Amino acid sequence: MKRILNSKLIRLFSYMWKEGGNPFLGILYTVSMLAIASQSFMFNYIAAVGVKRFTDAIFQSNYRQFISGISFIFKYFILVAILLTIFGYIYQYSIRKTTIIIRKNILKKILSLSLTNFEKKHSGDFISRLNNDVAVAEGAYSWQVMVLAMGFISLFGSSVVIFSINKILFLYSLFAGLLNLVFNSIFIRPLRVVSNRIQQKIADITSLFSDIVAGAFVIRSFNIGKVIYEKFVHANLMLLKLSLKRVHYNSILASFNYSFGYLVFLGQIVVGGFLIIDDKLTFGNLIACIQVSHLLICFFGAIGQFLTSLQGSLAGAERIFEILDLNDIEYSPKELFAESEKSSKKCWNEYITSDACVEFRNVSFSYNNSKDVLKDVSFKIEKGSKIAFVGESGGGKSTIFKLLLNLYEPNSGQILIFGKDIKEYTKSELRDLISYVSQDIYLFNETVFENIRVGRLDATKKEVIQAAQMAHAHEFIMNLHDKYDTIIGERGVMLSGGQRQRIAIARAILKNSPIILLDEATSFLDSESERLLIDVLQNLMKDKTILMTAHRLSTAEFADFVYVIENGAVVESGTHNELIEKDGRYAYLFRKWSAQKI
């Protein structure tokens, strides 16, 4: 028990003391919790004293004492009930506030994690930890510790009362309580194991459901609804099986505690009866002892209940702390929040100290120490250039962009931006220098205006509209139901692929960074829209350095320089015309693309 209290449970409680930054919350919780925990003893003590008074009054035919006993119970019950209402509100406030603090810490951690963590875990697993596991862990400080505190207060108060009345009844109650504790403790380990498995299964179901919602179109188009449904049902049946196992354990405990309580009660009557016959106890004192002694027995039952029910909460807490203890982070908390603070204060002059905008020096890279994706790649791009990276899928083009964004670090070599190693930039500085548009566009379930303004959060509506016009998105936006105030659904489901890409390009234009990365960013655009966009890139954004990857080599025709990437290496480089004349790999790819276009 000591080991448990010194680890996860103590850490959970730290969020209302240290982590929340305001120990007053911890004080509110402790005072209100102790006040509520004492109510059980107070109610029983008041009832015991009152019952003793009017029971003795009945046997003595004392009408005044009988009324006094009833008045005593009524008066103090009302007082305790009023206090309980006040402290109950304070207690619930401190619990909800603590839960919010924990969720905020988890979200901060998730936002600061490196990309590798998201590749290892399903998004549904993160959702489950943030919602389900936090809700389960909340049980530890919302009611389980309350049960324990209630037990200790009851132990102290009832022990004093019973011991002062009769030592034999005290020893009897103490022995019965210890038996109750021993039996309840047997179930600690099995409940812990099954609770851990339940939380993991809930996470699996959340992940599966997330896939079902996100992949609704694929499920329908491949007609696999039945297979997915059966998989979901099977997962829920497994959860049901585990839940019933926990119910089985809890049912045994509940049945034992209920039956044991009656046996103890009968034993008290028997023991008390002998004591009354021997004139060592009055009937009123026996009633008072019975009223209070169940609190002493309940103390040991409370410890057993605390330890068994705590296993579920600790299972949730363990999954929470797995996330909070991850060391593979990309942002420190300071950097994470500095990023948004700086977004409205971009000044590139302090960074642009070299005509060499982007430079790779003998860069090699592999994912998770597997086969090299990039092999000794070197190139130098001048400021204001329009560069195209072309090649077959899987050649390493997109990986170059990920390394530029410092989403991953190269195994060897050096990457420089404006003559400065990217390691010397903070994450927020580096990403303020770069606008990135990928083929896999992510749009939020917000308005068109808010989705474009992601590029620069302090942008005015006029600036947003101007960026949309440059990206040739303004016309279709004005045809939407609520124009720029149209909510476009999760991932922009209300828009076509080409429309989503234009929104993403408008974001990049609005951000106004000196470097723009377009990773297959025109793949969903028709030829006319692509031509118009290229015109924008060439004429209206002359001062920007633009790097593009493309399967459609029409974009490469307009680039100042082309790099052909195959199997992680630069196999050719030059202008479009030079490479066509060379009649090498680029010329082959261009002819192949031209034939497909026809």
**Both tokens assigned to 493:** 């489901």
Among all chains, which residue has been given the structure tokens 């609005």? 510
Number of domains observed in the structure of the chain = 2
Please state, in angstroms and rounded to a whole number, the distance separating the CA atoms of residues 118 and 126: 9
Please state, in angstroms and rounded to a whole number, the distance separating the CA atoms of residues 284 and 47: 12
What CATH number does residue 478 fall under? 3.40.50.300
**Both tokens assigned to 126:** 């993160």
DSSP state of 480: S
Rounded average pLDDT over 284-289 = 74
Is position 96 within any domain? yes
Q: Does residue 454 carry a pLDDT above 70?
A: yes
Q: Does residue 339 carry a pLDDT above 60?
A: no
What's the chain's average pLDDT?
Answer: 78
Among the candidates 297, 330, 363, a domain finishes at: 330
Q: Does residue 332 carry a pLDDT above 70?
A: no
356-366 β-sheet, strand order: 372-382, 356-366, 412-417, 420-421
pLDDT for residue 441: 79
Is position 217 within any domain? yes
Q: Which amino acid is at 240?
A: L
Please state, in angstroms and rounded to a whole number, the distance separating the CA atoms of residues 222 and 339: 42
324 and 454 both lie in a single domain: no
Among the candidates 277, 312, 330, a domain finishes at: 330
pLDDT for residue 32: 85
pLDDT for residue 449: 92
Q: Does residue 346 carry a pLDDT above 70?
A: no
Give 173's pLDDT tier (boundaries 50, 70, 90): confident
- How many CB atoms are located within 10 Å of the residue 580 CB? 16
| 353-382 CB burial, b ≥16 within 10 A, e <16 | eeeebbbbbebbbbeeeeebbbbebebebe
Q: Which percentage of the chain shows pLDDT scores above 70?
A: 79
pLDDT for residue 243: 86
189 and 310 both lie in a single domain: yes
Is position 590 within any domain? no
pLDDT for residue 14: 80
pLDDT digits (tens, 9 = 90+) for 4-24: 444 777 787 788 776 655 678
Q: Does residue 69 carry a pLDDT above 50?
A: yes
Is position 194 within any domain? yes
Is position 564 within any domain? no
324 and 449 both lie in a single domain: no
pLDDT digits (tens, 9 = 90+) for 225-235: 777 778 888 88
- How many CB atoms are located within 10 Å of the residue 83 CB? 15
> Which uninterrupted H or E stretch holds 434?
strand 434-437
Rounded average pLDDT over 40-59 = 69
Is position 238 within any domain? yes
pLDDT digits (tens, 9 = 90+) for 529-586: 667 667 666 655 677 888 888 766 777 777 888 888 888 888 888 888 888 888 888 8
Is position 415 within any domain? no
What pTM was computed for the model? Answer: 0.66
* Most confident by average pLDDT, 37-46, 259-268, 528-537: 259-268
What CATH number does residue 39 fall under? 1.20.1560.10
Helix (H, G, I), strand (E, B), or coil: what is residue 565? strand
Domain span at residue 502? 436-512
Give 214's pLDDT tier (boundaries 50, 70, 90): low
DSSP state of 492: G
Q: Does residue 399 carry a pLDDT above 80?
A: yes
Q: Does residue 154 carry a pLDDT above 50?
A: yes
> Which uninterrupted H or E stretch holds 48?
helix 39-60
Are the CB atoms for 487 and 445 separated by under 8 Å?
Answer: yes
**Both tokens assigned to 521:** 């960013």
Q: Does residue 447 carry a pLDDT above 60?
A: yes
Is position 371 within any domain? no
pLDDT for residue 295: 67
CA 221 to chain centre: 32
pLDDT for residue 596: 62
Please state, in angstroms and rounded to a whole number, the distance separating the CA atoms of residues 21 and 97: 12
What is the rounded (10 degree) CA torsion for 447, 452, 454, 458?
Answer: -100
pLDDT for residue 522: 65
Among the candidates 489, 512, 535, a domain finishes at: 512
CA-nearest of 319, 272, 108, 131 to 210 is 131
pLDDT for residue 131: 75
- If 0-12 CB within 10 Å is exposed, 13-18 middle and 19+ buried, where does residue 437 land? buried
pLDDT for residue 431: 77
pLDDT for residue 342: 44
Give 2's pLDDT tier (boundaries 50, 70, 90): very low
Rounded average pLDDT over 384-388 = 86
DSSP state of 360: E
